[in-house]
A = this chain, B = another copy of it.
């Protein structure tokens, strides 16, 4: 059975304090606050976030090259055994070679250098198929589920590459600030170490796109043309327990560790369902680095070996933007 064998992450050297960033930004402040300073302090208290990481020096290809060198050379992974490379961003984003001898950085769009393609060439991944699954903050979970299926069916490894960089003027949200970082994971089943990928459940809620397009924002009370009932996604933890955990003789109470995103409101929500078992040590340090959070938290959590052989861990996430939401959980066994 396929295992999550390896996880690694990269964080930039440069950090920015939340107070410093908020000072520099033009943010609409709720009326109950007398000043921006007062709001900023309350924001730090509420989000528990102290600083975020900002990349100012290196480009994605350099970063991934270092990380894959470590994977292949130090960890002795054979690159020709990689069958699938999942790149969890649009391949059109983040890099652009303009033919003028300069490499233009992030968020340029277009361009002729495709990062996962570059890496297959550079490292001789001769048996690999690159799959660009461009999702939201649960796309790493999609890639994990698909990698596990691919490895179980075809053998070899699945490599997951997850970059997350934000434009400097687009980091602020009501609940967190976006940080920069990169994560990778390797799925396979040829070593004793690692965590078995037991099961998973992933769902999408497209209501916002539907309501926006059809101008149903006021009229539509329900979801789904026929069912008129809300999707079960708002209670995803219950659905996951019922549809996944119970199938393996588990409940929400018997999962030993829970990994999620570095967002305080999400941690609080999951802490009600899995009290005392949600990993949250990274929340103050670095910002919400999209689903790199999951990779970073998985690595940091498991480095302390808190889950014994045979015990279960859960990776759970939700991603949202103005078009809709995606939710997912992946069940792991130590």
Indicate whether A26 reaches chain B with its CB closer than 8 angstroms: no
Q: How far is the CA of A131 from the CA of B86 in the complex (A)?
A: 12
B206/A120 in contact, CB under 8 A: yes
Q: Separation in Å of the A129 CB from the closest CB of chain B?
A: 4
Decide if A118 touches B209 in the complex (CB within 8 Å).
yes
Tell me, rounded to whole Å, the shortest Cβ–Cβ distance linking A58 to chain B.
14
A193-208 Cβ-contact flags toward B at 8 Å (1 or 0): 0000000001111111
Set B146, B202, B204: member contacting A146, Cβ < 8 A: B146
Q: How many Å lie between the Cα of A132 and that of B120 in the bound state?
A: 21
Give the distance in Å from the alpha carbon of A128 to the alpha carbon of B212 in the complex: 20
A109 interfacial contact with B, CB 8 Å: yes
* A212, B90: Cβ atoms closer than 8 Å: no
Chain B's closest residue to A214 (CB) is: B122
Q: How many copies does the complex hold?
A: 2
Does any Cβ of B come within 8 Å of A97's Cβ? yes
CB proximity of A243 to chain B, nearest CB, Å: 10
A303 CB → nearest B CB, Å: 30
The residue in chain B whose Cβ has the minimal distance to the Cβ of A90 is B90
Instruction: Report A308 CB to chain B, min CB distance, Å.
Output: 27
Residue of B nearest to A210 (CB): B121
A117 touches B214 (CB 8 A): no
- CB-CB under 8 A from A22, the residues of chain B are none
- Residues in chain B near residue A255, CB distance under 8 A: none
Shortest CB–CB separation between residue A327 and chain B, in angstroms?
A: 9
* 6 nearest A-B pairs in the assembled complex, by CB-CB distance: A124-B224, A121-B210, A117-B206, A114-B323, A121-B206, A120-B206
Interface residues of A (CB under 8 A from B): 61, 79-80, 85, 90-92, 97, 103, 109, 112-135, 142, 146, 149-150, 152-153, 202-214, 223-227, 231-232, 322-324, 326, 328
Given contacts A118-B209, A125-B206, 19 further A-B contacts (CB under 8 A): A92-B134, A97-B212, A97-B213, A103-B213, A109-B109, A112-B322, A112-B323, A118-B206, A120-B204, A120-B206, A122-B206, A125-B204, A126-B231, A127-B203, A130-B326, A131-B133, A133-B133, A146-B146, A149-B149
